[in-house]
Amino acid sequence: MIYKREIVVGAGCGGDGCVSFRREKYIPFGGPDGGDGGDGGRVVIVANPNVVDLSLTGRKKEFVAGNGCRGSGWRKRGKKGEDLFVSVPVGTMVFTEADSGAEILLADLSTPGQKVLVAKGGRGGLGNARFATSVNQAPEIASKGASGEERHIVLELKLITDICIVGHPNSGKSTLLSAISRAKPEIADYPFTTRQSILGVMPDDRRDFIVAEIPGLVEGAHLGKGLGNEFLRHAERTRLLIYLLDGSSQTVIDDLGTLDKEIALYKGLSHKPKIVAVNKIDLPEVQARLLEVKQCFAKLGVPVFYISAVSGQAVLELVRKAREMVDQASQDEEIISQAQITVFRPKPRK
Ligand SMILES: Nc1nc2c(ncn2[C@@H]2O[C@H](COP(=O)(O)OP(=O)(O)OP(=O)(O)O)[C@@H](O)[C@H]2O)c(=O)[nH]1
Ligand SMILES: [Mg+2]
């Protein structure tokens, strides 16, 4: 999966205006009738829910829209250049570079069908018919079409999810994802089975919830250990994190600390709502230490669940709490977004 891409977009050039004079039998001095050139095509980036990553079309780096056609006699306007629509996944952020070199966010394409115009087509040139005046009734001039805009664009995909399952390798993230959603990720008894973020849909009567599994994190992931921490970018826009711990790990209590440290070291994740889930409680060795673990986690200040993703034990309770917390987080988001709207009202007349 490709999460970041740099491309160059070029809008089409406008077609040139035409120099032409009306020539017809019995109509002497027909006058100028050169039409305008067509405008150049635009480049538009569109969020398409059927697109999963930024591979776009192969290795192509330049995306160029069609040029406008020349104008012609009979005041005919040239054909408009064809617009180019570049489809990207929902959740793509579109940046461009300012003259100072700083990246500017042009759009955050967070809803399906959302579009942003990234390069305006050049305007078509004017035909000589436009230059006729009372003193120059037969102008032999037309203007050239303007060139289209060209821009350097950076696309960055940040998935928009409700819940992200994070944890150490082999803790059972894929097993939990397949238990609570329709996703069918690969499950195996070795670390780093999952090497890409995986999405699943958790159906619900009111609305579906999007759940993601983030590839396993190890201590030092922020320094590039294991698979590194770059997949955490997909957790940046989640509403809830589920910390999934492997109950059969000898260091399960410390595992929570190392996991939390890795999350906290990634920008913007430390304040996300969290649930801790200790997995694999169906195993006898986990049961044997469960009391000790429960005592340690009793005062964490976040909800803790003891589950078995394989047998389904306590998974329903976990899901219920997760939904509740996601709903709460969405309500909070709404309040914040409403607060950002400024309404200008005219002052009442005296
Ligand atoms: N006994 C038991 N085994 C489990 C449970 N959940 C997962 N496992 C096993 O743990 C192993 C790892 O499970 P995965 O779901 O692949 O774990 P993961 O966290 O996705 O692993 P990576 O993708 O490699 O990081 C598999 O052999 C699972 O069958 C559980 O609740 N109980
Ligand atoms: Mg996995």
Instruction: Give the pLDDT of residue 343.
Output: 52
Q: Which of 165, 168, 181, 187 to mutate to test ligand 1, by most ligand atoms within 8 A of the CB atom?
A: 187
Burial 47-67 (b: 16+ CB within 10 A, else e): bbeebeebebeeeeeebbbbb
- What token pair was written down for 96? 């461009």
Distance 172 CA to ligand 1 centre (A): 3
- What token pair was written down for 24? 């017809």
Of 241, 235, 256, the closest CA to residue 318 belongs to 241
The residue whose CA is least distant from atom 8 of ligand 1 is 172
Distance 67 CA to ligand 1 centre (A): 55
Phi-psi region of 224 (alpha: psi -120 to 50; beta: other; left: phi over 0): left
Number of Cβ atoms within 10 Å of the Cβ of 75: 18
Contacts of 10 (CB under 8 A, 6+ apart): 43, 62, 63, 64, 65, 119, 148, 149, 150, 151
- What token pair was written down for 56? 């776009």
Distance 160 CA to ligand 1 centre (A): 25
Of 111, 143, 131, the closest CA to residue 37 belongs to 143
Which ligand is closest in space to the CA of residue 284? 1
pLDDT less than 70: residues of the chain? 1, 57, 334-350
Instruction: Tell me the sheet residues that pair with 156.
Output: 4, 93
Instruction: Give the pLDDT of residue 335.
Output: 67
Q: Which of 164, 166, 170, 213 to mutate to test ligand 1, by most ligand atoms within 8 A of the CB atom?
A: 170
What does residue 106 show for φ and ψ, rounded to 5 degrees?
A: -85, -40
Number of Cβ atoms within 10 Å of the Cβ of 214: 26
Q: Which of 174, 178, 252, 313 to mutate to test ligand 1, by most ligand atoms within 8 A of the CB atom?
A: 174
Under DSSP, the state recorded for 32 is B
Whole-angstrom CA distances from 73 to 123, 124, 306 are 19, 15, 79
Note whether 216 and 171 are within 8 A (CB).
yes
Distance 255 CA to ligand 1 centre (A): 16
Which ligand is closest in space to the CA of residue 318? 1
Rounded to 5°, angle at Cα 303 from 332 and 203:
65
Which ligand is closest in space to the CA of residue 309? 1
Instruction: Give the pLDDT of residue 348.
Output: 60
Which of helix, strand or coil describes residue 45? strand
Which ligand is closest in space to the CA of residue 167? 1
Q: Which atom of ligand 1 is nearest to the CA of 195?
A: 23
Q: Which atom of ligand 1 is nearest to the CA of 175?
A: 15
Instruction: Give the pLDDT of residue 279.
Output: 96
C-alpha to C-alpha distance for 121 and 135, rounded to whole angstroms:
33
Contacts of 222 (CB under 8 A, 6+ apart): 229, 262, 265, 266
- What token pair was written down for 295? 């005592």
The residue whose CA is least distant from atom 27 of ligand 1 is 189
pLDDT digits (tens, 9 = 90+) for 301-348: 899 999 999 999 999 999 999 999 999 988 877 666 555 555 555 566
Question: Which residues form the pocket of ligand 1, taking CB atoms under 6 Å from any ligand atom?
Answer: 167, 169-175, 187-189, 191-194, 216, 279-280, 282-283, 308-310
Note whether 326 and 162 are within 8 A (CB).
yes
Distance 174 CA to ligand 1 centre (A): 7
Which of helix, strand or coil describes residue 237? coil
